[in-house]
Every structure is written in structure tokens, then in C-alpha cells.
Amino acid sequence: MRSPLKSKPLRNPGQSLDQYLLDVVFDEGLIYIFIGTFVCLIAITNWFYYFIQTALNPWAMTLIAVAVVAYCLYKIKKALKKITKLKQGRDGERAFSQY
């Protein structure tokens, strides 16, 4: 069945900013949350083995985890600032088009 529309519909106001916003959230935000969580889980596992008297030393992994989490928090904070600006731009485009 053929579509009754002759041409493509117009883009919604702020549609490109919505797409860019999703890209920033997934590419610059969530990846660092996952990395930080993974490193913390490894450090917690090392501490668990330490307390049940196995041969692992958790101090090295804890220091690595702290450094990685600090870097991830920095990157997440930077991404959140970018997300806030993109949301403001998108909302501005929508408000302008509705006005």
C-alpha cells in the first residue's frame, strides 16, 4: 500500500537537539557510570577476598578504583553541563516555534 503523503513531513522543533542530547547522554555520560561501577565492583571483590584470607591485596585495586571513579565523575559532570545547555537550547527552539 502506498502512502497518501506526497512529501516528507517537516521536522519537529528541536528535533536535532533532541537527537544530539541522546547522543551526549549515551556517549559521554552513561559509559563513565558503567566504567566507574565496574571498577568499584572489582575493588569490592578484592576486599572480599582479602577478608576471607586469600592471597589478593586490595589496596592497589582500591587506589586504581578511586582514580578511575574520580576521572569518571569529572567526565560525568562535564557531560551534565553539556546536557543542561542542550536542554535549554531545545526548549528555546520549541518555545520560539510555538510563539
Average the pLDDT over 4-31 and give the result. Answer: 79
DSSP string, the chain: ---S-SSPPPPPTTHHHHHHHHHHIIIIIIHHHHHHHHHHHHHHHHHHHHHTT-S--HHHHHHHHHHHHHHHHHHHHHHHHHHHHHHHHHHHHHHHHH-
Mean pLDDT, rounded, of the chain: 83
| pLDDT the model gives residue 83 | 87
| pLDDT the model gives residue 74 | 94
Residue 7, pLDDT above cutoff 80: no
pLDDT tens for 42-82 read: 888 888 888 887 766 778 888 888 999 999 999 999 989 99
Average the pLDDT over 17-27 and give the result. Answer: 85
- pTM exceeding 0.85: no
